[in-house]
Structure 1
Amino acid sequence: MRAIIPFLVAAFLVSATPASADSVTLFNEAGTPLGQGRMTVFDGAAGDRIENITPDGGLTVTAQNSATFEGMTLRFTGPTGVLEQGSFPDAQDYDKRQADHAGIRVGPPLYDSTPCDRYRGSFEVRDLRRDGLGKITRAWIVFEQHCESGPTSYFGELRIGMPASGTGPQTLPALVRWPEAEAGGRGLAVPVRVHPSAAIADVRVIGEDFAVENDGCTGKVDACDVKVRALPSAAGTQVAALRVTDVAGGSTDVPLQVFAHGGTTGFTLDSEPGEFVGDGQHWQYGPEDDIRLSGSLESGLNMRIGEVPDGNAGWTFQIGPGDGDLLVPGKTYGPVTNYSSPGPRFEFYGHGRGCGDWLGSFTVHEIAFDGHDVTRARISFEVHCFIDPDYDLRGTLSWHSGETTPPAPWMVPSVSGEPAPPPGVSATVTVFGEAGATGSRGVRNVYDVAAGDRITATSEEPGVLKLQASGGNYGTPTRIWLVGSSTNMDFNPGVVYRGATDVQKRVDGLASMDVDAGVWCDRLTGSFEVREFERADDGTVLRAWILFEQRCLYNEPAVTGEIRIGAPAVIGPRVVPTLLRWAREEVGGGGVAQPVSVWSGAGVAGVALAGADADQFTIRRDDCTGVAAVRGEPCVVWVRPSTARAGVLRATLRVTDVSGAVTSLPLEAFDHGGTTEYKMVSQPGEWIGRGQTYAYDARSDLVVEGTPSHLEGYIRGENGDDWTFDLAPPAGGALTVGTYPNALSYRVNGDKPGMDVSGNGHSCFGDVTGSFTIHELEIVGNEVTRFKFTYEMHCKGATPSLTGTFALRANDPTPLAPWMVPTPPQVVPTPTATATSTATATPSATATATATATATATPTSTATVTATAAATATPTSTATATATPTTTATPTSTATATATATATATPTATATPTATATATATATPTATVTATATPTATATPTATATATPVATATATATAPPSPFAKVGPPEPTVKTRARTATADAVARCVAGGKALAKARASRRRAVAARLARAVKACRDAVSALPASSERTAALGALKRQTIAIRTMRQRRPGAAALRRARAQLASAARTLAR
């Protein structure tokens, strides 16, 4: 009892200081004009529910408004996983943070549905207390959060268990800190809620650079708001206080803080007289205007001037470096095109005026990023609208240009902590997607367990690898699934698995893969090379080094990358990836700049290219040399191949740290040779080409795919042009080299050849006549590897013609790179008893005869081998067997067929094995055949075997069941079969419609173009089905998709039109999904 009394006294003394009610205050400037930000308050004193949770050293707080039931969650943690007092200016998304980074996640309120891949922010823990069990009992946190690379923020304050701030009025928040602002600009007008203890007598700002914009409290005795705005007149840290005084003499000072950037921030626009968009005027904006800038090195910049003094709507300005390139200082980009094209991109519109296609260039004079947030930029441009070539529009954007302002105290980390311990086993994954590659969005994802990313890899059965990675430099997850050509045989180091199919549609005997970066793709193909692989008996991957390349629709931009688990330690700087291999390109097409993450605690002294082909690579951007090393952060060097020469290109990137240690990163690329181009001539009055001449080379996207029964292609020009073509043989035929006269529309050609060429919004609508000649056609597996055709087409019987030539690697003699040539896995043969070479046989003796036959021929896709073995025993000491295999096939590749027959002389036995191309099969009882595709060939070998009467052995093997095998369903009804057939026919359009509905504005037209091609294929497939209610419904849904696509492909559709289009896509998706 005596021990309890002092405890009660101590508890009373602690609680004697009155505590203020818990509160959360959130200000939102995201998506709102400046001055119209919304305040959200959760106030425990008003009955709102605020719950404090302390999970694993961090802090999670849930808040709910008692009146509106609106709620949100706030989460904070420190770099080590334990929340501490101090400043954390480089916090990452709580659930996606990397090691050595603090975590923040302020769940946005319900009224904001802005999508965000990963949040970033900063926070300061001004007060923090824990009880004896480690639970947080007191916390005061000031925070700011924004979507990574986004221009607007949530900011506010969290207070739990804090004592009351004196006897004067209580305020929410107790401190106001604005997001970073501009010197000479203005911050968001922030409402401060006041709970008076007596009538409010006075409200004023003590200090400079802030002002009371609206006093809603003087004379009030109930809760009221005072609206305060930051008006920083100079660069640097600016502080003041809002003083609220009541009639009883009590007062409360609310600290006001803002950091203002220096340098130059502004936008100027000069429009020549007669120029439409700028209206022939001079426009000028400065830091006092609402200029917001966001973007990245790879995708480009997006500037918006929202609220301006004269009340106009403002301007939107967008630039991009083009597919595969980066924004770098000192470079001029041009000629520019629109955002659906692979070349440098430019867009500018506002005040109700715009241009569909701009022509001209822009120059990057200065640009810098902090992670994925732009910090400094200066861009100038000179363009004209394509319909008004005589009138130019010029402008300059500056954003903190030339800034040298030191950061505010809360922008400097005050808690260093210990570096995160290195993982027991190294593991890295890179996923690099070319711009426009399905499954990638063109980003460069790097995952590294040493950076705190999560990578799990399992191989629960031989020849199967499943990997998941999360976190990474962009915070997006990736799933990779690789399967060898045989699931009962493990991955073999040194084996190249080429022609891999979609793992979800796996064909037994072929390798398969799926690199899923979160974007839909209907058909996948690719290859992967296994350099190292070791697995434990329980499926744990001990060591792996795998390079992969995956494409959607065969020739579209690729996703490439590396899996490296258990890499040996290096003495010099550590680099990720450990081998950088680019996707195959067309010579002259322009390579893709890829990042190399460099970890060097000592700092990097220099980077350089070396090796035989060093002149074929360029260091596009070096953010490592001379840059101070940041603990827990890599620096990045961007490297790009030139694609100026066909064939294999090899070099090394040498990274040297300040101590002199060197790490060399191998670089590998391959460029196809031959001719890749598309030329088209439209006679005056011709509808499709509008009487113009067109020419595109490998710098444009030229794609062809299909089979000999139907080839389709598309051309996405650097200038934004978009063309498609289709070719088909007469019904039942196959396309091959030759001329096809009297062609009709490929949809209704019947016994005639079929063709169609359309694009740029023009089509013959299925009514064409013409002819075409195929000069070269090579299809390997399911991929068109070389192709050239010429054509002449007339629309609706019109006299003016459209003629053209399409070539993909025509006459290309370039040998493939070693990693592009499939390597068959090495199979360890099953031991078989071996008979002695001589024996004496009695009339009843048993003899074993073995026959081997080999046939070689020209390419084919399937092979059939038949072997007949006969053995006859006589009262002598030997037995003789004769085998006659016959091989027949159709074109694809060279094959070697081996037939082994074992017969028991009793006195005659016959074995007949059969093999399928590119597969290994065992025929029971006595024959094993290995074959890899052959054409028509016949071989008649004869073999003689001598055996003892006692040495008889026959080895047979039973293949394990495929892990992908499923128990078949009951026999379907007619209606079920119709539904299943229809579902299969429209599967790609279901997923494509969903992707289009969610597509960002910058990608909408490209996704719509891709879906348009898919809808065409779906419509053809559905039309070929027998009549049924499912077929009718599917055709109606596809028609709704087509109508929506037309809207989505417009350059700037209205908001109402977009809503209707999305509704049509949703309706079509529901119908097709049934």
Structure 2
Amino acid sequence: MPVVRVGSVALLAVVGSLVLGGGAATATPATVAYVVIYSDTGDWVGGGTQREFDPGNAAITVYGSASDLDISLDGGTSGDYFDMEFAAAPGDVLVPGGIYTDAQRAPFREAGHPGIDIFGDSRGCNTDTGLFEVEDIATDSAGAVSRLWIVYQQHCEGGHPAVWGEVKLNEPVDVGATVAAPGIVRWPTTDVGAPNTVVPVTVVATGSTTINGVSVTGVNAADFAVRADECSGLPMTAGDACQVWLRFVAKASGVRQATLHVTDATGSAYNVTLQGFAYGGTTAVTMTSDSGDYIGQGQTWSYSLPHGDQIGMGGGRPYAGFGVNGANGDWWSAEFVPAAGDILVTGETYPNATRYPFNGSGPGLDVSGMGRGCNTLTGSFTVNSATFAADGTLKTASISFVQHCEGATPALRGTFAFRAGDNTPPAPWMIPTPPVPAPPPPPASPPTISGFTPTSGQPGTSVTITGTNLTGAAGVTFGGASAAFSVDSSTQITATVPPNAVTGHVSVTTGAGTAVSSSTFTVTSPPAAPAPVITSFSPSSGPPGTAVTITGTNFAGAPAVTFNGVAAVYNVVSPTQIQTVVPAGSSTGTLSVTTPGGTATSPSQFVVTGSPPSSSGFTPPPALTLELVGSGNLHGVLHKTTESIAATFRTNQAAQVVLSVARLGRAHKIALLKGARLAGAKLAKRQVTIKAGLDHAGRYSLRLILPRDQLLRGKTYVIRLSGRAGTQTARLNILCVLASLGARDPGTGQRYRPHH
């Protein structure tokens, strides 16, 4: 049986848009799920196509909460993809019966404004306006939307054409009766006499039946015409569909309402609510052109809404603009502005106007169309009437004008009027309801620890801690010592045993409290570094400056080489070989090599002879280098609540390295990979420091795991490497600048760009 996903709840849906029972009219409780998207001619988003989505023809998924919800649609009658976002004003929630006007594009809505954003099939608004009414909304215990009913309209870029319709998901319905999609057909706001978009109501049968008839009833039935009835008299079997197409043309201003009544042979019936609102006043354009006038060509021009002409207006107190798209293909525009610093006032005449926008500091006008306009002009205009909204937006106006092109005597004169004289009160669905603030979040539950694995280990061991309510953890300790960690989920944390840890309980601290493990973690000692051994050296004698090769084992990381106690310069070629030079001032005696595992003494003495050789043949150890490999990006990898970034660097010889990361709110974990030996770690308040041994020349990789909630766009994270090989030192700073942070698309990962 088809399903629609609302939050995480699977919903039984009545397939299709209008369901008619084929049998006894016994009511059986069920739910209905569909989305209807209508589109006016000229609407960019919908492209003038009428669409219907239901679980029988589309995948429907709802994300978000009652504050900001998103509906994903894939399929439908046109086989395309759409996304719909409805949001309360920031800090508020959507409630049943709520009316949300002055909506802005949802992701960019300002304080005090609800949000709407409908886009799809590769089309969307840069800016939009709209309104919507939440007939019903419900959420489950987790806050996910479980039931939804919204009637909406959206206009792109301030235009009049709209994408509009109804969302109805998991709303109850009686299967034994008839069901419709949409249940409410509410045309966008219009004007008296203006013909509006013809839209369908789809009828789907659940059993064998015949549609007896459809009719429009109600006080304003004459405003709603059935343009095409494809259902009456049609025998239908389960799954069959038909459509009834309707048009709204307001006969008078104000709220206009009627009912579409559908009946079948079983006596079942369903009423679809039809609604519209029309502004009153006068909306018309008339112009008369003198013989010889270039713009009007000596003709009379007249446009009005009942003739199918489109007339629009925009502006405010310092500007009024009109546009005309005639049903016969004519097009005109008109613009009127007062002198600089002035405003448009009812009853005022503005003389000595010149061509706008080249009018300088004086009044300006420009009436043009049909591909004709003035290069220069003179004229005047009178504001017969004008009303403004509270924000200064022009609501209604009538402006008469006289215009002369190129200083000629012949004139074009006329009047542009838009809803002039209208004072129609708004429809109930145009009056916003008081906002409802979002309730404060419930207090967080304290964390618990159910276990950890392994139960013992040396410093540096990775430990998985399990429990509940671990999200937002601010600290983890082992025997009281703070540890680096990452929160994998609300039930799991991965932590690293710190270098100063002692055997004791494990604790996790969140904003809701601290959890302490019931058992203890046993801290074991790390294995001792192997002691170095000198097996031989060659040659066995020579003056100061002689090159000597020492052979043995466990030489990695050697910080010192001596000849009978006198320090020598040297180069650790490998864990089994060191190259050195007999130092000046040395005397016959044993050689020694010191490493982290101890000091080795040669089994025999090196005999220091007379004068130094002219050339020892020994090449002093090269300068230690640490460098970033390539110019590639540091790749950010998302994992639940953490970010993992990695970089590769190169060293030209074995070395000891100290790695530190500063400017962190809280580091979770940092580790050197691919052959590096961890020699110790320290976690400070805002810095992690790790010591490690690099046993050979070559490439090494490092990885830094950070809590995602603390990353900031544009912030620089500095990874510092300090290396030492014998007496040689080197430094490398890797600066990671967070380029982007995709809060809504965790599947793509993040990118960081390094430089040094």
TM-score, scaled to structure 1: 0.37
The correspondence for 2:317, drawn from 708, 714, 733, is 708
Q: Is the 8 A contact 2:94 2:436 kept in 1?
A: no
SS of the equivalent of 1:470 reads: strand
Q: Does structure 1 residue 637 correspond to structure 2 residue 283?
A: no
Equivalent runs, 1:274-313 vs 2, <5 Å: none
* Rounded Cα–Cα distance in structure 2 between residues aligned with 1:438 and 1:969: 39
Question: In structure 1, how many angstroms separate the alpha carbons of the residues matched to 2:224 and 2:310?
Answer: 22
Among 56, 59, 78, which residue is 1:454 paired with? 59
Paired residue total: 419
Q: Which residue of 1 aligns with 2:83?
A: 479
Structure 2 residue ranges without an equivalent (≥5): 3-12, 17-27, 441-708, 717-756
Aligned-partner residue type, residue 343 of structure 2: A
- Secondary structure, aligned partner of 1:575: coil
> 2:15·2:54 contact (CA, 8 Å) conserved in 1?
no
The equivalent residue for 2:99 is 496
Give how far 1:685 is off. 0.8
CA 660–423 in structure 1, closer or farther in 2 if over 3 Å, else same? closer
- 8 Å CA contact 2:188–2:276 kept in 1: the answer is yes
Q: Please name the residue that 1:686 is paired with.
A: 293
Aligned to 1:526: 130
Give the share of equivalent positions with the same residue, in percent. 34
Equivalences for 1:863-902 in 2 at 5 Å?
A: none
Determine which structure has more spread, i.e. the larger CA radius of gyration: 2
Taking the aligned partners of 1:538 and 1:769, their CA distance within structure 2 comes to: 67
Judging by fraction of residues, say which structure has more helix: 1
Question: Does the 8 Å CA contact 1:724/1:757 hold for their aligned counterparts?
Answer: yes
In 2, the alpha carbon distance for the partners of 1:653 and 1:466 equals: 30
Q: How does 1:658-807 map to 2 (within 5 A)?
A: 658-698=265-305, 699-737=308-346, 738-765=348-375, 767-780=376-389, 781=391, 784-807=394-417
Moved more, 732-741 or 700-709: 732-741
Question: CA 1:734–1:659 in 2, change beyond 3 Å: closer, same or farther?
Answer: same
SS in 2 for 1:569: strand
Question: How many angstroms apart in 1 are the aligned matches of 2:301 and 2:406?
Answer: 22
Shift of 1:769: 1.5
Q: Deviations over 1:194-224 (max 9, x none)?
A: xxxxxxxxxxxxxxxxxxxxxxxxxxxxxxx
Change over 3 Å in CA distance of 1:100–1:433 after alignment to 2 = closer
State the Cα distance separating 1:512 from its structure 2 match.
2.0
1:642 maps to a residue whose letter is V
Q: Cα gap change, 1:803/1:444 in structure 2, threshold over 3 Å: closer, same or farther? A: same
Q: Residues 680 and 751 of structure 1: is their aligned pair in 2 closer, same or farther, counting only changes over 3 Å?
A: same
Residue of structure 1 equivalent to 2:733: none
The alpha carbon displacement at 1:827 in A equals 4.8
> What RMSD over aligned residues (CA atoms) do the two structures have, in Å?
3.1
Say which of 192, 201, 207 aligns to 1:596. Answer: 201
2: CA distance, partners of 1:522 / 1:811: 33
TM-superposed CA distance for 1:423, in Å, is 14
The residue matched to 1:426 in structure 2 has which SS? Answer: strand
Identify the match of residue 574 of structure 1 among 156, 179, 182: 179
Q: What's 1:394 paired with?
A: none
Q: Following superposition of structure 1 onto structure 2, how do residues 217-232 of structure 1 map, counting pairs within 5 Å? A: none
Distance 1:670 1:690, change over 3 A: same
2:434 counterpart (805, 824, 830): 824
Structure 1 residues 529, 822: CA separation in 2 closer, same or farther (over 3 Å shift)?
A: same
Contact kept, 8 Å, 1:681 with 1:694, in 2: the verdict is yes
Kept after mapping to 1: 8 A contact 2:135/2:149: yes
The whole-number CA distance in structure 2 between the counterparts of 1:807 and 1:444 is 32
1:531–1:797 distance in 2 versus 1, CA, 3 Å? same
Shift of 1:523: 3.1
Distance (Å, rounded) in 1 between the aligned partners of 2:213 and 2:393: 42
AA aligned opposite 2:212: A
SS across alignment from 2:429: helix
Once the two structures are TM-superposed, the CA of residue 527 in structure 1 deviates from its matched residue by: 0.7
| 1: CA distance, partners of 2:113 / 2:222 | 38
TM-score of the aligned structures, taking structure 2 as reference length: 0.52
**Structure 1 segment 345-364 matched on structure 2, within 5 A:** none
Tell me how far apart the structure 2 counterparts of residues 100 and 797 of structure 1 sit (CA, whole Å): 69
1:525–1:550 Cα contact (<8 Å) kept: yes
Structure having the higher strand fraction is 2
Distance 1:540 1:689, change over 3 A: same
Q: Name the amino acid aligned to 1:541.
A: V
2:116 corresponds to 1:513: yes
Unaligned runs of 5+ in 1: 1-78, 81-97, 102-421, 831-962, 971-1074
Deviation of 1:464 after TM superposition, in Å, equals 0.8
The 1-side partners of 2:714 and 2:327 are apart by 49
CA distance in 2, matches of 1:611, 1:966: 59
Shift of 1:520: 4.8
Matches within 5 A, 1:881-960: none
398, 423, 441: which one aligns with 1:813: 423
Instruction: Give how far 1:543 is off.
Output: 0.9
Which residue of the other structure, out of 430, 440, 449, is the alignment partner of 2:46? 440
Compared with structure 1, are the counterparts of its residues 539 and 466 closer, same or farther at alpha carbon in structure 2 (3 Å cutoff)? farther
Q: Report deviation, 1:966.
A: 9.1
Cα pair 1:681 1:804 within 8 Å, conserved = yes
Q: Which digits, 9 at most, give the CA deviation of each residue in 1:713-743, with x for residues without a partner?
A: 2100011101112222323333333222111
The answer to whether the Cα contact below 8 Å between 2:57 and 2:77 also exists between their aligned partners in 1 is no
Provide closer, same or farther for how the CA distance between residues 968 and 531 of structure 1 changes in structure 2, counting only shifts above 3 A: farther
What do the CA deviations read for 1:64-95 (whole angstroms, capped 9, x no partner)?
A: xxxxxxxxxxxxxxx99xxxxxxxxxxxxxxx
Counterpart Cα distance in 2 of 1:651 and 1:636:
18
CA contact under 8 A between 2:318 and 2:342: conserved in structure 1? yes
Contact 2:38 2:51 in 1 (8 A): yes
Q: Give the Cα–Cα distance (whole angstroms) in 1 for the partners of residues 361 and 218 of structure 2.
A: 57
Question: 3-state DSSP class of the match of 1:603?
Answer: strand
SS in 1 for 2:166: strand
Counterpart amino acid of 1:796? E
Q: 2: distance between equivalents of 1:650 and 1:694?
A: 34
Q: Deviations along 1:250-271, whole A, 9 cap, x unmatched? A: xxxxxxxxxxxxxxxxxxxxxx
Q: How does 1:119-518 map to 2 (within 5 A)?
A: 426-449=32-55, 451-460=56-65, 462-486=66-90, 488-518=91-121
Residue 616 of structure 1: CA displacement?
Answer: 2.3
Counterpart-to-counterpart distance in 2, 1:564 and 1:597:
15
SS at match of 1:718: coil
SS state of the match for residue 324, structure 2?
strand
AA matched with 1:675: T
Whether contact under 8 Å (1:792, 1:804) holds in the other structure is yes
CA gap 1:633/1:476 in 2 versus in 1, 3 angstroms: farther
Contact 2:388 2:395 in 1 (8 A): yes
Contact 1:573 1:599 in 2 (8 A): no
CA distance in structure 2 between the partners assigned to 1:764 and 1:444 by the alignment:
41
Shift in Å, 1:702:
0.5
CA distance in 1, matches of 2:144, 2:116: 19
SS of match in other structure, 2:222:
helix
Q: 2:498 maps to what in 1?
A: none
Shift of 1:690: 0.9
| Alignment deviations for residues 744-775 of structure 1 (CA, whole Å, 9 cap, x no partner) | 2222222111211111110114x222111222
1:961-1040 → structure 2 map (5 Å cutoff): none
Deviations 1:162-202 (A, max 9, x none): xxxxxxxxxxxxxxxxxxxxxxxxxxxxxxxxxxxxxxxxx
Q: 2:668: which partner in 1?
A: none
Distance across 1 between alignment mates of 2:15 and 2:103: 39
Are the equivalent residues in 2 in contact too, given 1:459–1:535 (CA < 8 A)?
no
1:801 and 1:537 map into 2 onto residues whose CA distance is: 71
